[in-house]
Structure 1
Amino acid sequence: MTLLVTGGAGFIGSNFVLDWLAHSAEPIVNLDKLTYAGNLQNLASLQGDARHTFVHGDIGDRELLGRLLAQHRPRAVLHFAAESHVDRSIHGPEDFIDTNVLGTFRLLEAARQYWQALEAPEKEAFRFLHVSTDEVYGSLDADAPAFTEQHRYEPNSPYSASKAASDHLVRAWHHTYGLPVLTTNCSNNYGPYHFPEKLIPLCIHNALAGKPLPIYGDGRQIRDWLYVQDHCSAIRRVLAAGRVGETYNVGGWNEKTNLEVVQTLCAILDELAPRADGQSYAQQITFVQDRPGHDRRYAIDASKLERELGWKPAETFESGIRKTVQWYLAHQDWVRGVTSGAYRQWIDLQYADANADTHTEASTSSTTKEPA
């Protein structure tokens, strides 16, 4: 009994690997390409643990996938591997097509060939669980109902379009070939090991460094926020009991504007790591030019997952965000390790022009936009 996890050195994937091995003796084979956001330091606590086998490789490598499946004979494939940053997809969409579309296709084909050759009991038990995003549904009006699993796909960025394409491939491989798939579409995750290009870790890092906290546009963009360990527990539940061929939305029931999120971060940092001058970190909030095609609101209706599988998040936004800030304060060595070199160059590229057009520092009545 083994799981094959793709992208298990990234943010959500590494949290899942750690969470799984904290709850189960079942081994994991972890395949990750170790691009800029993949970090083996996320998994340092598993060094020497025989339950964890790390493989440095690409989901687009057919031969490697075939060898891993034949050698380890997993009962399930959990597909986390993806390019996931909207801003990066705007600047360089080809990487997103290569990984999220072509990579998913090749992984599906390898899984299908492996599954078709299994004996009946193992074939019946096998699952391919595809981890996706609420961004495939597009943008919601302020008073519109939250996304359900029946919502029409309307992706608006190269990233969300590539994830929508991967979702459609997974669905097609089930309906055409019978591959036993499960799909989860999650809202914005936050928590430990989050690469600091996304809104929450970026603002924590910049606040402590005395840098501006860059907020896109007017800051009234709304997201539903899901603590990453709640997401991991949802995936475990879907893998255990989800109906084959079904999609499950995973959300935290926490809709917040980006400005609310950053102001909350500042208030917690004011308490736990106050500035030397006694001023609030909120003074560092700075508005920057909005990104192209920025979706206004996402909201997840996770009632199907609760109704069918009995799952609901354990953390409120208030409890989860405090745990997140505490983790980053306690792991500054990890932060320093990932905020060097290429990462700094990317941040400079992304915000150089925008900061040149920057307006004022924010007050509690101002609005912002997420760089996530």
Structure 2
Amino acid sequence: MTFSEQKQSNSKEQRRLLVTGGAGFIGSNFVHHWCKQYPGDRVVVLDALTYAGNRQNLSSLAGHQNFHFVQGDICNDALVNALLKEESIDTVAHFAAESHVDRSILGPDAFVRTNVVGTFTLLDAFRQHWERRNQPKSDRFLHVSTDEVYGSLGPDDHPFTETTPYAPNSPYSASKAGSDHLARAYYHTYGMPTIITNCSNNYGSYHFPEKLIPLMCINILMGKPLPVYGDGQNVRDWLYVGDHCSALDVVIHKGKPGETYNIGGNNEVKNIDLVNKLCEVMNELAADLPIRPAQKLITFVKDRAGHDRRYAIDATKIKTELGWTPAETVDGGLRRTIEWYLHNRDWWQPLLSAEYQAYYSQVYTQV
């Protein structure tokens, strides 16, 4: 059975999803993907709307019969239990997380609370809900995680696989590692149908301005310095968010409970080379740049504490077992992303708040 046939088959068995963090970057892209692919499925979004959550990301879905938004905290067990029961949820797609390494260095407590305690709250609530419903085999708890739990690679090391030992190096990655272990334990202890995915760096639309690619896009448009940590030689594997969403779709429908799947874009790029690519495309597409060429704005700043040198994903398992591969090249994905930021200034301009500016000044002290 092909994946398109699999989707048609599963569309007849409508799912009822709870998507945590569904107003954030990856979560909102996933919600749009799912609602488009499976319009008959019920999608309930639970999001606390912290600084990185934005109702605007889901505005086009307002009023849709099978879409429902709830503002709330995943640590609120009463709320989570009520939603699972009232909405008869059979699938949880868990995106909600504090996710920025720089913020975890400045304030790690929020990361432990949301990423560890929040994930535990969801897992235990879903376990009880699943048991009350006589443990349906088709139910799923998808835990969306990061490649950063594996630590840092040397220049010649093989990319991360699903069996790479965990070695987190930041409060953020340590908190995600803890949540991964909880998800794994709930499968092995209770038989709960959890699946873990570990993805590489995402990029695309609705990405909060503090992350590398949107930060560079917005600063170029504003004529501000482009802060590059250290020597700019840190390497990341870049995954277009649309590809990530299609991979998670495959995992929910075809993945095996208790398994982990690494999701990567096959696009390893040095940070400085990525910034130069962004500058080149901006020079081409943006007619009204305050400073041209944009490369003049590149500014090297003090390196991040404990900065991992290289991340890379070996996505062989999801390719061979589930038939998924990324469709987008880094050049094509970056162009699409830049065009989105060019055409959606009304989305990102309000996000440059006083709180954001204070955070920015604290992190990039040399800019």
Shorter-chain TM band: over 0.9
Q: Please report how far the alpha carbon of residue 346 of structure 1 lies from its aligned counterpart in structure 2 after TM superposition.
A: 1.1
Q: Please report how far the alpha carbon of residue 354 of structure 1 lies from its aligned counterpart in structure 2 after TM superposition.
A: 3.1
SS of corresponding position for 1:262:
helix
**What is the rounded CA distance, in whole Å, between the counterparts of 2:290 and 2:230 in structure 1?**
28
**What is the rounded CA distance, in whole Å, between the counterparts of 2:91 and 2:344 in structure 1?**
32
Q: Give 1:220's aligned residue.
A: 233
Count of residues paired in the alignment = 352
**What is the rounded CA distance, in whole Å, between the counterparts of 2:311 and 2:362 in structure 1?**
27
Q: Give 1:88's aligned residue.
A: 103
Q: Please report how far the alpha carbon of residue 342 of structure 1 lies from its aligned counterpart in structure 2 after TM superposition.
A: 1.6
Q: Please report how far the alpha carbon of residue 200 of structure 1 lies from its aligned counterpart in structure 2 after TM superposition.
A: 0.3
Would the aligned equivalents of 1:274 and 1:280 in 2 still touch at CA under 8 Å? no
Matches within 5 A, 1:51-70: 51-70=66-85
Q: Please report how far the alpha carbon of residue 341 of structure 1 lies from its aligned counterpart in structure 2 after TM superposition.
A: 2.6
Matched, 1:20 2:34: yes
Which residue identity lines up with residue 94 of structure 1 in the other structure? D
Equivalent of 1:253, from 227, 250, 266?
266
Task: With the length of structure 2 as denominator, give the TM-score of the two structures.
Answer: 0.94
Q: Please report how far the alpha carbon of residue 279 of structure 1 lies from its aligned counterpart in structure 2 after TM superposition.
A: 2.8
Would the aligned equivalents of 2:222 and 2:289 in 1 still touch at CA under 8 Å? no
Residues 196-242 of structure 1 show CA distances to partners (whole Å, capped at 9, x for unaligned) of: 00100001101110100000000000000000010000000000000
Q: Give 1:173's aligned residue.
A: 186
Q: Give 1:119's aligned residue.
A: 134
Q: Give 1:313's aligned residue.
A: 326
Q: Please report how far the alpha carbon of residue 274 of structure 1 lies from its aligned counterpart in structure 2 after TM superposition.
A: 3.9
**What is the rounded CA distance, in whole Å, between the counterparts of 1:298 and 1:277 in structure 2?**
34
Q: Please report how far the alpha carbon of residue 277 of structure 1 lies from its aligned counterpart in structure 2 after TM superposition.
A: 7.0
Matched, 1:49 2:64: yes
Equivalent of 2:149, from 124, 136, 139?
136
**What is the rounded CA distance, in whole Å, between the counterparts of 2:20 and 2:251 in structure 1?**
17
Matches within 5 A, 1:1-372: 1-25=15-39, 26-119=41-134, 123-274=136-287, 279-351=292-364, 353-355=365-367
Would the aligned equivalents of 2:115 and 2:175 in 1 still touch at CA under 8 Å? yes
**What is the rounded CA distance, in whole Å, between the counterparts of 1:72 and 1:277 in structure 2?**
50
Residues 150-175 of structure 1 show CA distances to partners (whole Å, capped at 9, x for unaligned) of: 00000000000000000000001111
Residues 6-38 of structure 1 show CA distances to partners (whole Å, capped at 9, x for unaligned) of: 000000000000111111121200000000000
Which residue identity lines up with residue 356 of structure 2 in the other structure? Y
**What is the rounded CA distance, in whole Å, between the counterparts of 2:250 and 2:69 in structure 1?**
24
**Higher mean C-alpha deviation, range 283-292 or range 331-340:** 331-340
**What is the rounded CA distance, in whole Å, between the counterparts of 2:269 and 2:195 in structure 1?**
28
| Unaligned ranges ≥5, structure 1 | 356-372
Would the aligned equivalents of 2:222 and 2:290 in 1 still touch at CA under 8 Å? no
Q: Please report how far the alpha carbon of residue 278 of structure 1 lies from its aligned counterpart in structure 2 after TM superposition.
A: 7.2
Q: Please report how far the alpha carbon of residue 276 of structure 1 lies from its aligned counterpart in structure 2 after TM superposition.
A: 5.4
Q: Give 2:6's aligned residue.
A: none
Q: Please report how far the alpha carbon of residue 340 of structure 1 lies from its aligned counterpart in structure 2 after TM superposition.
A: 1.9
**What is the rounded CA distance, in whole Å, between the counterparts of 2:292 and 2:196 in structure 1?**
46
Task: With the length of structure 1 as denominator, give the TM-score of the two structures.
Answer: 0.93
Would the aligned equivalents of 1:6 and 1:31 in 2 still touch at CA under 8 Å? yes
**What is the rounded CA distance, in whole Å, between the counterparts of 1:244 and 1:67 in structure 2?**
25
**Higher mean C-alpha deviation, range 155-164 or range 67-76:** 67-76
**Higher mean C-alpha deviation, range 19-28 or range 141-150:** 19-28
Which residue identity lines up with residue 350 of structure 1 in the other structure? V
**What is the rounded CA distance, in whole Å, between the counterparts of 2:245 and 2:352 in structure 1?**
25
Residues 298-354 of structure 1 show CA distances to partners (whole Å, capped at 9, x for unaligned) of: 000011001001000110001100000000000000011212232122112211x33
Would the aligned equivalents of 1:275 and 1:281 in 2 still touch at CA under 8 Å? no
Alignment RMSD, CA only?
A: 1.0
**What is the rounded CA distance, in whole Å, between the counterparts of 2:236 and 2:137 in structure 1?**
38
SS of corresponding position for 1:149:
coil
**What is the rounded CA distance, in whole Å, between the counterparts of 2:68 and 2:179 in structure 1?**
26
**What is the rounded CA distance, in whole Å, between the counterparts of 1:279 and 1:41 in structure 2?**
31
**What is the rounded CA distance, in whole Å, between the counterparts of 1:19 and 1:30 in structure 2?**
14
**What is the rounded CA distance, in whole Å, between the counterparts of 1:5 and 1:34 in structure 2?**
13
SS of corresponding position for 1:124:
coil
**What is the rounded CA distance, in whole Å, between the counterparts of 1:278 and 1:160 in structure 2?**
36
Which residue identity lines up with residue 238 of structure 1 in the other structure? V
